[in-house]
């Protein structure tokens, strides 16, 4: 992954800013926006479902969404920051 | 339709890990409700003091959170969303709205005998990496040699002691939301301090830790007294980067059995922080497991399917256990 130079310490004197990597931030873009499948939150089942060839199935059972299986997706969303002290 | 949940899930719609818990709870007869907090501004919500009830009206449904409530699974509640308001600073409006809802949701702490997995206070308490390291040390975990500092002299001494093989990490919240985009700070190995100015060191403290070579990364997930552990391995013929999360290769997650004494320490550490759930990162060198950190809201959905670990079942079991405890008392 490439380092980002435009926020390097030349502008901001913070050591760890030298090691930043772009990620997908919170709320900026839906997790599903890159999916070619129709996805919706099912209020009855209280989970996300995907419209596949054989009807709707829970997203957690849908094999064609490989990003669901990797922790990296978590980072791409920037969600590793947990709830940030309940939005503070 | 009126629903009186015994179990409440506080999260967001896109939390796939929690989808596994919803799926598991759907297999049980007990009423539960998942409140995706980013939707709060689209729901009519009230707290009735006399009845001591939170009432949420959502379409045709009325959800009553009151004395029947026994468990709350609290995990990454979505930030309430409103559209930008013309003429106002977006961030200030967002902060005001979030603050009001934060107090409202935290009001759910008014109910006695409700088990929180985990409570917001415990999560926040556990986010402090200095406390994590101190508690882990007190419990007898092996820990890489560590310095947390903004003092260049101390850092240089530590660097010399480690023969210039050091990892540098953020002390908290390594997500930056800037106008130019969002950025994450992974753990990084450094072998020289020369490029860094004194000011860079002094601006914030950072974690400096002994670089562990020839390691195997281990993720331990604790839920109550249940402990799941996996080793994170590279594909055959490949090696992992220092921070395995940056790897673009297909990783393997191999369930392992931790030594019993280490399992007990992991459970003790989560208890020490008042947590029911905790995700703990270790690196293994030979037979030694070195503690790195504990994450109270750690991701685990990637393990449920890939490593076939019943973590959702364990979380649901913890929530359901408080229902049974309540039935025994009455």
pLDDT digits over A37-88, tens only? 788 999 999 999 998 788 899 998 887 665 555 555 565 555 555 445 566 6
- b/e sequence B18-31, b meaning 16+ C-beta within 10 Å: bbbbbbbbeeeeee
CB-nearest partner of A72 from B170, B176, B245: B245
Q: B163: left (phi > 0), else alpha (psi -120 to 50), else beta?
A: left
CA distance B208 to chain A (A): 11
ipTM summary value? 0.88
**Cα gap B13→B36, rounded to integer Å:** 6
CA distance B34 to chain A (A): 6
**Cα gap B21→B297, rounded to integer Å:** 14
Q: Which residue has the tokens 């985009």?
A: B181
Give me the total of CB pairs closer than 8 Å, taking one residue from chain A and one from chain B: 170
Is the pLDDT reported for residue A2 higher than 50? no
Confidence of residue A5 (pLDDT cuts 50, 70, 90): very low
**Cα gap B5→B14, rounded to integer Å:** 21
Question: CB contact, 8 Å: B308 with chain A?
Answer: no
Radius of gyration of chain A (CA): 17
Q: At what angle do helices B129-138 and B260-272 cross, to 10 degrees?
A: 130
Confidence of residue A1 (pLDDT cuts 50, 70, 90): very low
Beta carbons within 8 Å of B263's beta carbon, 6+ residues apart: B227
Q: Which segments of B139-187 does DSSP mark as H helices, in order?
A: 152-161
Interface of A with B in 30-49 (CB under 8 A): 30-32, 41, 45-48
Radius of gyration of chain B (CA): 22
**Which chain A residues are Cβ-neighbours of B297 within 8 angstroms?**
82-83
Q: What is the pLDDT of residues B56-100, one digit of tens each?
A: 999 999 999 999 999 999 998 988 887 777 777 877 888 899 999
Question: CB contact, 8 Å: B124 with chain A?
Answer: yes
Question: CB contact, 8 Å: B33 with chain A?
Answer: yes
Q: The whole model's pTM is what? A: 0.90
Q: What's B142's DSSP letter?
A: B
pLDDT means over runs of 10, chain B (330 residues): 96 90 97 96 96 96 97 92 78 88 96 95 93 98 98 97 95 78 85 91 95 93 97 81 71 93 98 97 96 92 89 97 77
Dihedral of the alpha carbons of B249, B253, B254, B259, in degrees to the nearest 10: 120
CA distance A85 to chain B (A): 6
pLDDT at position A9 is 44
Residues B42 and A54 sit within 8 Å (Cβ to Cβ): no
């Amino acid at each position: 992954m490439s380092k980002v130079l435009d926020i390097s310490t030349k502008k901001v004197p913070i050591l760890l800013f030298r090691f930043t990597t772009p990620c997908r931030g919170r709320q900026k873009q839906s997790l599903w926006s890159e999916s070619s499948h129709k996805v919706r939150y099912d209020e009855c089942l209280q989970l996300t479902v995907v419209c596949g060839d054989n009807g709707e199935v829970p997203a957690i059972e849908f094999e064609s969404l490989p990003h669901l299986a990797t922790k990296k997706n978590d980072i791409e969303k920037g969600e590793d920051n947990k709830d940030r002290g309940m939005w503070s | 339709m009126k629903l009186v949940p015994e179990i409440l899930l506080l999260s967001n719609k896109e939390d796939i890990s929690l989808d596994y818990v919803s799926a598991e709870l759907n297999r049980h007869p007990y009423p539960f409700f998942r409140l995706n907090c980013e939707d709060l501004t689209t729901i009519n919500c009230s707290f009735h003091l006399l009845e001591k009830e939170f009432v949420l009206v959502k379409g045709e449904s009325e959800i009553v959170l009151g004395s029947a409530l026994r468990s709350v699974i609290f995990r990454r509640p979505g930030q309430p969303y409103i559209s930008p308001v013309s003429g106002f600073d977006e961030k200030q409006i967002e902060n005001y709205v979030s603050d009001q809802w934060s107090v409202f949701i935290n009001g759910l702490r008014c109910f006695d005998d409700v088990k929180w997995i985990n409570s917001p206070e415990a999560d926040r308490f556990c986010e402090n990496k200095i406390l994590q390291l101190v508690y882990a040390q007190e419990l007898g975990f092996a820990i890489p040699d560590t310095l947390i500092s903004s003092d260049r002299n101390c850092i240089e001494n530590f660097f010399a002691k480690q023969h210039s093989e050091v990892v540098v990490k953020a002390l908290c919240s390594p997500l930056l939301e800037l106008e130019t985009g969002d950025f994450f700070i992974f753990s990084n190995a450094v072998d020289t301090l020369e490029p860094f100015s004194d000011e860079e060191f002094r601006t914030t403290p950072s974690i400096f830790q002994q670089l562990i070579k020839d390691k195997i990364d281990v993720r331990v997930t604790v839920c109550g007294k249940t402990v799941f552990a996996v080793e994170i391995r590279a594909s055959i013929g490949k090696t992992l980067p220092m921070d395995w999360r940056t790897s673009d290769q297909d990783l393997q997650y191999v369930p392992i059995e931790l030594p019993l004494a280490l399992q007990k320490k992991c459970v003790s550490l989560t208890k020490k922080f008042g947590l029911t759930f905790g995700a703990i990162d270790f690196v293994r060198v030979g037979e030694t497991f070195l503690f790195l950190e504990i994450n109270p809201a750690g991701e685990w959905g990637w393990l449920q399917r890939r490593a076939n670990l019943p973590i959702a079942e364990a979380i649901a079991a913890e929530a359901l256990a408080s229902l049974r405890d309540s039935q025994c008392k009455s």
